[in-house]
Structure 1
Amino acid sequence: MYDNPDPKSFYRPYHSTVDRVMGECSVFLGIPYALPPTFEGRFKPPRLHRGWQLLQAVDYGPACPQPVRYTGVTKGITDMDEDCLYLNIFSPKTGAGVAQKYPVMVYIHGGEFIRGASNLFQGHILASFYDVVVVTINYRLGALGFLSTGDENSPGNYGILDQVMALRWIYDNIEFFNGDRESITLFGPGAGAGSAGLLMVAPQTKNIVKRVIAQSGAALADWTLIQDKYRAQNTSRVLGQLLGCSIESSWKLVNCLRTGRSFYELGNAEFPPQVGTFPWGPVLDHNFTVPADDWYEGWREKDWKFLTQPPEYLIRQGHFNRGLQYMTGVTTQEAALFVGQNESLAPYYEIDAKFFDQKIREHVFRYNYTLNPNGVYEAIKYMYTYWPDPNNSTVIREQYINMLSDLYFRAPVDKMVKLLLEQRVPVYIYVLNTTVEALNYPQWRKYPHNIEHYFLTGAPFMDIEFFPKREHLQRNMWTDNDRNMSHFFMQTYSNFARYGNPTPQQVLGIHFQRAYQGELRYLNINTTFNSSILLNYRQTECAFWTQYLPTVIGVLVPTYPPTTEFWWEPKEPLQIAFWTMSVACFSLIVLVVICCIMWRNAKRYTKFTIAITRKRPIIDI
């Protein structure tokens, strides 16, 4: 750590001859919070860890299996294994005397539920200078974390149940690390924000979660919780076909994936789902019985099920911590991430009208708008066409980014805000309209999804060795705006974790205001000294996705159920044994009946022959 983040300290390279400012915190890495989810534990909820005598907590645990294109030394993920349920704790340095309890900030990484790792978020600066305990966690990803067949063979939600187990561990043990168990804040981007929203209403964790900071995501997003079980089944079948497993029944599929495929194969399997945009995610638990198993010590039967009702219903019914406080924000170019990842657009990333039309039609097809596909296409096309100049490629790219940003991030966030305001939950909103100047991004993606990561980790004040080499960070690259914005984010986030208000006092001249029903105030963050409170961000566009479009669709047709499963197909070993014995017994009975019939016929024939012989007349010749 090279600088004190607080600008008032004047510890900046050009203000002071001090070359290095030391911040101190205690770091505990690679703490297992559950037993390894391997062998019998694959495709099952996490198991309670049995504890340890002495642990060398000096190295990060392995990342959970994920596609190899996201891993490697240059990308910050050097180790990957199925044994990955570890967490890391960054605790402020305490002086002599009575130990002080600090607010706890639990970071849940994003990555569309298929990638990411806890070691990518460095909590040193937050803990050292802002007096909060920072915890980062791993959870199972992709098929290993979210494979669901919609029945008892693989209910799904293993990754989100990992988060539940981690939260329970934190609640039970964080006081030993100077954390306040009654002041736990969840924060994270994208899938992390969606997960935080689900954990805030889940029966197992709702009383643990005091505050949530949802960065560019919400529990009400379509990709956060899959409510159509046939959609989840369909994705699992696509994976089975890809890996060469039988899809005749859910038991055969799960058994093949559990015993016949390595974690590397399962983690590296990438494919577009037939329904929806992202293949994996938490699912709504349906009405089926999960068999009890002593192997899962510490879990009650109801704990196997994560959510049996949608989060919208639970919030309306008040099923959350009554002291809940909520903070959320989006950026002005969220979906620039997807454009940048599309290699077919490289190197100029230009988008024309034909490409835009194709993507709208793909969206209509993927979401099964079969009742009125053309009407849905025309509505989206009308909403996001720049009518003064429809063929301007620069504006088409901007509108394409806006369309995806509204669909995946802004509309769900807006819906969540309004729902919480109805329940009188204090809500604070920001819209990030500034960038990391040191990264020198092109104009069309200056404010992408999760740009806050560099600010929240205190990157301008950290040794570059803590960050992946692919990012090409240098110590002298940061500008004054980068440093000030980093301090602003760390100060407001830690303030919210401590007080439930990001700015009880102004931070660099900026003050948040609460949002209210009908008056959705948000902080428009340009730069630290050029930000302002505005009202009702993109209400028309958000209402288009949440209110208007459903009326055009009529009824969202669910995914069609698989057609290869029949009532008589075996799904479990006991059923296989039962049907095997039944067929054998039936065959034996048929064989006995046939033998009896043949014996009876043979006996009749013998008697008839004897009778004829006795009655035959004697003829002399």
Structure 2
Amino acid sequence: MDYGIVLVTIQYRLGLFGFLSTGDLECPGNNGFKDQQFALRWIQANIHNFGGDPTKVTISGESAGSASVGYQLLGTNSKGLFRGAIQASGSPLGSWSLQRDPKGNAYKIANYIDSKINETNTSTKDLVNLFRTLDVPLVKKIGDALYNKEPSILAFNSYEGFIYMGVIEPEHDGAFLTENAFKKFASGDFNLVPTLIGTTSEESLNLVNVSQIQEILSRYDASPDLIVTPSMHLLDQNIKIEVGKEIKRFYVGERLFNESQGPSLKFMSDAGFGRSIIKQAQMQAVYSDVYFYEFGYSGDVMRLVKSVEYIPEAGSVGHVEDEAYVFLEISEDPEKYSRRDLLTINRMVLLWTNFVKYLNPTPEPDDILQNIILPKLSKDSFPYLAINDTLEVKYDLKKSMMEKFDRLFDLYALSPLDTY
């Protein structure tokens, strides 16, 4: 508010309510994304009553919210609802952001209600009618049970995708998305608005204390095919194993994942976040303005809640830490924060609000931002703002990793690619 913008937060259906899909017209899916569009249309019609300008809307999100922003870039009927986008640590190109078997997921959910239900004895129409007879607490209980049981980014195959995320819908009036994200970004078939996008220095740092992390890493060591993204569509198991071994060698050499905590975290950070976010930025920059950042500042604000401070061979800032410096309320008691934390807070809020107002995080030299002017990405150049105790424009974030996976995709992946 001190920087002259109006902040609007929205609600949308989650879990089963927002992302159930039967893969056909009975329940096409993406209801949560359609709720977001509904909210954006409401903002267009009403924001002037709150001092806002409907022609200057920027959408912003973190993690699944960031993937949601990316999906709105791709979404049918989203054009004209916003003029800029901010994506913090998430992309629709991330494997976790796409349901690969929505119909199968719908029947799995139904099995929690009645174990006799299957695709041969229950139509998708009957399935949807069944769900509509359930009360809300039961639906939530079922949804939570399946979510906690099924593979996710924390489970043994880190690429299978969350079961409550986006789907590719069949063609119909009102469809949100009928083509995959990779194709749309590659072809320029998306909302061409300026975008600020980035990551933290070690997105998966919070996985260190996950109880089953050693078991997960041991599974990766025993079955390297588990770390190969489904987006490659590898049908030959022997090839899949070889690709997995090559990926493993890139991160840990001849060591084991289970004996290499730092490199294992780097693999998980790249697999879950970095690779897809960087790829989206590269693809998008061919058609629209893109600014990139990496947040590596580790301060006292997050120290009280962080489970780990330092892991050899890994970055020091985990998933969602950057958001604390954008949204932290400091006005009531600024004295409890260090000078370096307050400086980082001021920098982050200025970068974000600059982008909202000017579609550029550094529109002019400013002492707080060390008078840096961040260049846009281009087809041949990848500049990014490294946000640490000081600010610095660097180039080619994770270049060797991206070159490695680009080569693997070129050599082995079968079209069409959907995520990265």
The Cα shift of 1:210 comes to 0.6
Whichever structure has more helix as a proportion of its residues is 2
Show the 5 A alignment for 1:288-303. 302-303=173-174
Match of 1:328 in 2: 197
Match of 1:418 in 2: 282
Deviation string 1:39-89 (CA, Å, 9 cap, x unpaired) is xxxxxxxxxxxxxxxxxxxxxxxxxxxxxxxxxxxxxxxxxxxxxxxxxxx
Paired residue secondary structure (1:138): coil
Paired residue secondary structure (1:328): strand
Question: Is 1:525 aligned with 2:399?
Answer: no
The Cα shift of 1:476 comes to 5.8
The Cα shift of 1:366 comes to 7.4
Please, which runs of 5 or more residues in structure 1 have no aligned partner? 1-126, 290-301, 464-474, 559-621
Q: Which of residues 174, 180, 194 in structure 1 aligns to 2:53?
A: 180
Q: For residues 547 and 140 of structure 1, do their structure 2 counterparts lie closer, same or farther at Cα, with a shift above 3 Å needed? A: farther
Show the 5 A alignment for 1:85-124. none
Match of 2:154 in 1: none
Q: Which of residues 350, 359, 378 in structure 2 aligns to 1:491?
A: 350
Aligned pairs, how many? 391
Deviation string 1:412-444 (CA, Å, 9 cap, x unpaired) is 112111112211x22111111112324323213
Larger Rg, first or second structure (1 or 2): 1
For 2:276, the aligned partner's letter is: P
Q: d(CA) in 2 for partners of 1:510 and 1:435?
A: 22
Q: d(CA) in 2 for partners of 1:539 and 1:351?
A: 30
Show the 5 A alignment for 1:221-300. 221-226=94-99, 228=100, 231-244=101-114, 246-247=117-118, 248=121, 249-261=123-135, 262-269=138-145, 270=147, 271-273=149-151, 276-287=160-171
The Cα shift of 1:157 comes to 0.7
Question: Is 1:373 aligned with 2:235?
Answer: no
Match of 2:62 in 1: 189
8 A contact 2:200–2:322 mirrored in 1: no
Paired residue secondary structure (1:422): coil
8 A contact 1:216–1:409 mirrored in 2: yes
For 2:395, the aligned partner's letter is: L
Q: For residues 556 and 165 of structure 1, do their structure 2 counterparts lie closer, same or farther at Cα, with a shift above 3 Å needed? A: closer
Question: Is 1:433 aligned with 2:296?
Answer: yes
Q: d(CA) in 2 for partners of 1:462 and 1:391?
A: 49
Q: d(CA) in 2 for partners of 1:376 and 1:541?
A: 14
Deviation string 1:582-605 (CA, Å, 9 cap, x unpaired) is xxxxxxxxxxxxxxxxxxxxxxxx
Deviation string 1:451-483 (CA, Å, 9 cap, x unpaired) is 1121111344456xxxxxxxxxxx765222211
Match of 2:412 in 1: 552
Q: d(CA) in 2 for partners of 1:343 and 1:381?
A: 22
8 A contact 1:433–1:524 mirrored in 2: yes
8 A contact 1:417–1:427 mirrored in 2: yes
Q: For residues 492 and 152 of structure 1, do their structure 2 counterparts lie closer, same or farther at Cα, with a shift above 3 Å needed? A: same
8 A contact 2:78–2:191 mirrored in 1: no
Paired residue secondary structure (1:447): coil
Q: For residues 148 and 462 of structure 1, do their structure 2 counterparts lie closer, same or farther at Cα, with a shift above 3 Å needed? A: farther
The Cα shift of 1:358 comes to 4.6
Match of 1:165 in 2: 38
For 2:328, the aligned partner's letter is: G
Q: For residues 134 and 546 of structure 1, do their structure 2 counterparts lie closer, same or farther at Cα, with a shift above 3 Å needed? A: farther
TM-score normalised by structure 2 residue count: 0.84
Q: d(CA) in 1 for partners of 2:38 and 2:298?
A: 36
Q: For residues 377 and 313 of structure 1, do their structure 2 counterparts lie closer, same or farther at Cα, with a shift above 3 Å needed? A: closer
Q: Which of residues 355, 358, 370 in structure 2 aligns to 1:509?
A: 370
Q: d(CA) in 1 for partners of 2:229 and 2:70?
A: 28
The Cα shift of 1:384 comes to 1.2
Q: d(CA) in 1 for partners of 2:258 and 2:191?
A: 48
Paired residue secondary structure (2:292): strand
Deviation string 1:521-560 (CA, Å, 9 cap, x unpaired) is 1111111xx22111101122124345414633556899xx
Question: Is 1:211 aligned with 2:211?
Answer: no
8 A contact 1:200–1:321 mirrored in 2: yes
The Cα shift of 1:222 comes to 2.5
For 1:486, the aligned partner's letter is: I
8 A contact 1:436–1:451 mirrored in 2: no
Q: Which of residues 443, 450, 465 in structure 1 aligns to 2:310?
A: 443
Q: For residues 432 and 310 of structure 1, do their structure 2 counterparts lie closer, same or farther at Cα, with a shift above 3 Å needed? A: same
Deviation string 1:499-519 (CA, Å, 9 cap, x unpaired) is 111112323415222222221
8 A contact 2:220–2:226 mirrored in 1: no
Show the 5 A alignment for 1:311-322. 311-322=181-192
Q: d(CA) in 2 for partners of 1:359 and 1:138?
A: 40
8 A contact 2:89–2:199 mirrored in 1: yes
Q: d(CA) in 2 for partners of 1:218 and 1:420?
A: 12
Q: d(CA) in 2 for partners of 1:152 and 1:413?
A: 31
Q: d(CA) in 2 for partners of 1:359 and 1:454?
A: 37
TM-score normalised by structure 1 residue count: 0.58
Paired residue secondary structure (1:285): coil
Q: d(CA) in 1 for partners of 2:280 and 2:257?
A: 34
8 A contact 1:139–1:163 mirrored in 2: yes
Q: d(CA) in 2 for partners of 1:518 and 1:476?
A: 45
Over the aligned positions, Cα root-mean-square deviation in angstroms equals 2.9
Greater relative contact order, per chain length (Cα 8 Å cut-off, separation 6+)? 2
Q: d(CA) in 2 for partners of 1:164 and 1:403?
A: 34
Please, which runs of 5 or more residues in structure 2 have no aligned partner? 152-156
Q: d(CA) in 2 for partners of 1:431 and 1:503?
A: 15
The Cα shift of 1:383 comes to 1.5
Paired residue secondary structure (1:443): coil
Match of 2:398 in 1: 538
8 A contact 2:97–2:161 mirrored in 1: no
Q: For residues 546 and 173 of structure 1, do their structure 2 counterparts lie closer, same or farther at Cα, with a shift above 3 Å needed? A: farther
Q: For residues 541 and 555 of structure 1, do their structure 2 counterparts lie closer, same or farther at Cα, with a shift above 3 Å needed? A: same
Deviation string 1:348-378 (CA, Å, 9 cap, x unpaired) is xx78973551574434497774412311221
8 A contact 1:200–1:209 mirrored in 2: no
8 A contact 2:62–2:320 mirrored in 1: yes
Paired residue secondary structure (2:55): strand
8 A contact 2:92–2:181 mirrored in 1: yes
8 A contact 1:201–1:320 mirrored in 2: yes
Match of 1:481 in 2: 340
